Structure 1
């Protein structure tokens, strides 16, 4: 329970940090606008620090994942955060401790426990300081004299302030002149009407929770300045420009000289006195266009910073093992255990692969596509629906589907949950037998995208350093082997298309073999074929195409005919493992209607 809360606070603090940076930048064009606009922007920061959820919008300005730290990081073999910002992810992930073989406790659990202890200790210290400060202040106010309504006068008081939440009281120094009392009292009354005393208290409590984040301290201090300046301006608007000089003199005389960190009380002289005096003296009634531009900026930032980016898939380009079996249909005698469950891989171009633990090679299924189905419709696919499956489906955020087109009408579902978890389901979709047979919760293994080299690094290893390269497909195999489909240049019909076989070994990538087809990248009516050679004399044919009609590849070798489905993306790559004893293999190509496509180009492979 505490672990999840602590990780959620870290996620909220990260997202709020990005919002704070946006607000700091936005304050620059708002410099000439009334301070109420700058003050209003800090409410977005407060929202992000308090609420762990938000709406999604295409207009969101947040460039990151709002929940970069998964609760599974405490138990992962390779702990990772996923902010969506590559520089941050790489820097942090490289320093996260991985568990040692045979260790009983994951180092992340130890570090998280230490972090939780320090976090709670910090909260306790700040709250204790606040309570002690409040008690000392109330002791000094014992002899305060009630003047009228909620106004009190006190001897030896340095500055006026508001104290209290439900029934706030205004305390004024007895030595104030009548003119000073008029606008200072108005200042404090405006604070109360705007509920600034409540906002200040809430802001301090939020600061106590997020005390470890220096940007939250910056936000707390600067929001207090904007609060006071906007209140100063409200007084000037009410009483007129004639009080500017006297008002500024009072600010200077009653300045506390420090920030009241506890947020109690809300003091008239608190803050950057020099900036407040300068703002008062320079204040002029804003023009229509200044107000219009300020309103536009604030509304745009409210929409952009208060909403999350539209959900995007995080499961493609990853390999998975089964972490938990959520459901197995009871009508079957055969079932999986965690030790016998298959592994799964989803390529960067959304092609689904699976591999049984007894097999050496991955089986390519079909391309995944977005699938619209209600939770109620999903419920009906389980017979019976157990609690684990029900709870998981309730958290479904994105659902993708692939169909096998076999006699059983087998279909596969990949479901991304709100917390980032990924589920995999296999079911059958005949009219009289529509149900799900298995539902697994998956755990990510290996590098994201199955391959961590950049396009530029791939180009350099392929000897294409003078070209730009775009890696459009990844095929992951055992033993750290990857086949990468790429375009070289990709801007003209003279561009090249090809594939390379890479191996991750001893902490680095090595190029094992490659095939490049010159000037074929953008020729739409051609299909190119290449041979890749892997260690131990394993051979792979790679079919590359920009023909958007290509849907099926049939190959005959040694009297055996096999059909390979092609996910119709442009460009596409299909990998076909050949027998160790090479035989003459013939390929034919077909579109979705079964019409044969002519005119493919075979090519020789080159071995590094």
Structure 2
């Protein structure tokens, strides 16, 4: 409860600045129509109610993100910090003189106890005011039980002495008996304007906000002045929409209807308090000139911008910080590229999180992640995925500290982990999953993403750690991203006997990055290029245009079973066959192989599966006599192809080395060819009888039955593409995996990489 009270206290504290600004502005607007003074109070309402804030360079609000720190309750010397030094010094001196300094060695914090007591008093005050409001409303409603309908929504009764509006959904105008026709006309016009402007809703809402902030005398003052401006602006509207001069008659009506009642809690009464001010305002009313109205509007807008918005928070800089990391790592098929470098220690933690995910040093994340359960689970899962080669490659395009610290669920995270300091770091990156991860552990998919991270210190740990990874947002293809890689165009030209036979531009983000990586990842041959084109008539030309600033040309070719990448007038490099094949296929076929995944898992039956199995043909059957076989085929088709054909492996019959058919029964099967997304999935499940067979025999059984499948299609330039696969090469046995994990646990392998 104390944490909620502190948040309300903070909002009340900041809104007080807006109240004081509105009061000063009201003085400047003294001769202006009161509708402008009334409109100013919306700035205070926004500061008290709105859960977020807007930033502006023109704001005159305190520039501190949080003048009342989150850890003020646990602070040895509590302080409230704002940009105004006079306010700063006076508030600090008051706190210092009033509160007993906190001794951190003592278990009970006096400041914490005082806050808890204050929050209880706050709740009791709310309950008392709400109860008073309910009782007053019930009593009023009882007095109106005998009211009779005059016409439309107008009722009269002899139990009241003034007129007002009552109701929320269908508001009624209640008037007293025995009033003159002239007075009735003014009253009805006044109350109808209240209804037209929804004042009958605004005032209860304002009263409810007042109840929440009842401890702040400045908010009581603002409520009183807001009600006063509401009535005066309504009086002016009546006179404005009446042809003759009614100021004298209207003033007499106000005087005759004035009653002694609590103006703060009463409904919108025609003759409620401030009668003297209202009569004076009515008698002095003049239709304002056009330019005077414009000037008043400018003052209202200036106050709204200056005190309805927050000052922009400066980005944290550490002049002593110097980055010394690497910008490129390649480990097997996965890579990490950093196009931007950290500018402070907090940004470096995010950089390291990406780096450790790629370079195999997952265990080092224990030093940069907070020791909290969600992150421990995340680290454990990442370690497991890396061991199973379910990895992800990253290109880190930009790192930045978010000004203003506005992001998703930040306040809840700060409170949950007791953060004493924090920064929000934004990373824009491209992620590319391995095929296994894409298949088994899909999470947002490949592409360009923007993600915020919360880096901070807590009461338990005074070093900067990563506390939260907020939900990533996909960056659209047309969005501007600060990235030389993504903004460059990559074009491929195929030459045969020096004749250009095709041109292709790479649009796909991952293919673009992969190609640029392969071109810069070769080993030196010791030779240098001395011409504009290579010395073979068959080659692929790659043109990389970095927004016209720097156009790079590369050539990829094959000579005598060796593969080269050449940049004119620079060192020639060897590249691997795999890299050459990928660039060649991307150039000629439009995709990099292999877009096919085929896998088969042999596992034990569950008790439920075994119970449901027909075992009548087996003598003394046991669960170990049967195995379950799960087959899965995943296909990722390139664009603009035709004549797709899929031939699944034949899983029946399954003849073992002795000529016996081991197929027992079929299970579930599934097939889906998604034309819109260019992928297809096929699954099949069956039960086999394995008594007398070991894992080697089972694997050989699939080889003996020649269980081969294929996927073929015709590409956009009429080439026939075919991929074949024998599932005997792809069998994975569940018990072998479990035994491997068990052996690793025995030697303490997981203890070395997973924080306890």
Q: What TM-score does the superposition give when structure 2 sets the normalisation length?
A: 0.45
Structure 1 residue 260: deviation in Å?
2.6
Structure 1 residue 255: deviation in Å?
0.8
> Which structure carries more relative contact order (alpha carbon 8 Å, separation 6+)?
1
1:54 aligns with 2:69: no
For residues 373 and 297 of structure 1, the distance between their equivalents in structure 2, rounded to whole angstroms, comes to 42
Task: Output aligned runs, 1:148-163, within 5 Å.
Answer: 148-163=151-166
Query: For 2:254, which of 251, 256, 278 is the aligned residue?
Result: 251
1:141 aligns with 2:144: yes
More helix by percentage: 2
Query: For 1:218, which of 196, 221, 224 is the aligned residue?
Result: 221
For residues 184 and 6 of structure 1, the distance between their equivalents in structure 2, rounded to whole angstroms, comes to 42
| Aligned Cα root-mean-square deviation (Å) | 3.8
- Partner in structure 2 of residue 83 of structure 1: 82
For residues 135 and 88 of structure 2, the distance between their equivalents in structure 1, rounded to whole angstroms, comes to 41
Q: Describe the shift of the 1:298–1:52 C-alpha distance in structure 2 as closer, same or farther (beyond 3 A).
A: same
1:124 aligns with 2:127: yes
- Partner in structure 2 of residue 479 of structure 1: none
Query: For 1:208, which of 207, 211, 215 is the aligned residue?
Result: 211
Give yes or no for contact 1:159–1:172 (8 Å, CA) kept in 2.
yes
Structure 1 residue 243: deviation in Å?
1.7
Q: Which ranges of structure 2 fall in alignment gaps of 5 or more residues?
A: 323-340, 376-398, 412-419, 426-452, 461-756
For residues 200 and 351 of structure 2, the distance between their equivalents in structure 1, rounded to whole angstroms, comes to 50
Q: Describe the shift of the 1:141–1:86 C-alpha distance in structure 2 as closer, same or farther (beyond 3 A).
A: same
Structure 1 residue 128: deviation in Å?
1.0
For residues 198 and 270 of structure 2, the distance between their equivalents in structure 1, rounded to whole angstroms, comes to 15
Query: For 2:238, which of 235, 239, 246 is the aligned residue?
Result: 235
For residues 15 and 223 of structure 1, the distance between their equivalents in structure 2, rounded to whole angstroms, comes to 18
Q: What TM-score does the superposition give when structure 1 sets the normalisation length?
A: 0.55
- Partner in structure 2 of residue 269 of structure 1: 271
For residues 27 and 375 of structure 1, the distance between their equivalents in structure 2, rounded to whole angstroms, comes to 50
For residues 352 and 167 of structure 2, the distance between their equivalents in structure 1, rounded to whole angstroms, comes to 52
Give yes or no for contact 2:346–2:423 (8 Å, CA) kept in 1.
no
Give yes or no for contact 2:321–2:343 (8 Å, CA) kept in 1.
no
1:421 aligns with 2:440: no
Q: Describe the shift of the 1:388–1:165 C-alpha distance in structure 2 as closer, same or farther (beyond 3 A).
A: farther
State the aligned residue count: 370
For residues 389 and 290 of structure 1, the distance between their equivalents in structure 2, rounded to whole angstroms, comes to 61
Structure 1 residue 170: deviation in Å?
0.8
Structure 1 residue 370: deviation in Å?
7.7
Give yes or no for contact 1:63–1:84 (8 Å, CA) kept in 2.
yes
Query: For 1:297, which of 296, 299, 308 is the aligned residue?
Result: 299
Query: For 1:194, which of 158, 176, 197 is the aligned residue?
Result: 197
Structure 1 residue 87: deviation in Å?
3.3
For residues 10 and 51 of structure 2, the distance between their equivalents in structure 1, rounded to whole angstroms, comes to 8
For residues 149 and 138 of structure 1, the distance between their equivalents in structure 2, rounded to whole angstroms, comes to 20
Q: Describe the shift of the 1:145–1:423 C-alpha distance in structure 2 as closer, same or farther (beyond 3 A).
A: closer
**1:147 alignment partner, SS class:** strand
- Partner in structure 1 of residue 456 of structure 2: 441
Query: For 1:283, which of 285, 288, 298 is the aligned residue?
Result: 285
Structure 1 residue 140: deviation in Å?
0.9
Task: Output aligned runs, 1:333-372, within 5 Å.
Answer: 350-352=319-321
Structure 1 residue 86: deviation in Å?
2.8
Give yes or no for contact 1:66–1:83 (8 Å, CA) kept in 2.
no
Give yes or no for contact 1:11–1:66 (8 Å, CA) kept in 2.
no
**1:27 alignment partner, SS class:** helix
Query: For 2:178, which of 175, 179, 182 is the aligned residue?
Result: 175
Task: Output aligned runs, 1:13-92, within 5 Å.
Answer: 13-65=12-64, 67-92=66-91
For residues 126 and 59 of structure 1, the distance between their equivalents in structure 2, rounded to whole angstroms, comes to 38
Superposed CA offset, 1:129-182 (max 9, x none):
111111111111111001122211001311000111122111001111112111
For residues 440 and 375 of structure 1, the distance between their equivalents in structure 2, rounded to whole angstroms, comes to 8
Q: Describe the shift of the 1:376–1:103 C-alpha distance in structure 2 as closer, same or farther (beyond 3 A).
A: closer
Structure 1 residue 377: deviation in Å?
7.9
Structure 1 residue 374: deviation in Å?
13
Q: Describe the shift of the 1:162–1:442 C-alpha distance in structure 2 as closer, same or farther (beyond 3 A).
A: same
Q: Describe the shift of the 1:192–1:379 C-alpha distance in structure 2 as closer, same or farther (beyond 3 A).
A: farther
For residues 165 and 48 of structure 1, the distance between their equivalents in structure 2, rounded to whole angstroms, comes to 25
Give yes or no for contact 1:210–1:216 (8 Å, CA) kept in 2.
yes
**2:258 alignment partner, SS class:** coil
Query: For 1:112, which of 102, 109, 115 is the aligned residue?
Result: 115
Structure 1 residue 93: deviation in Å?
3.6
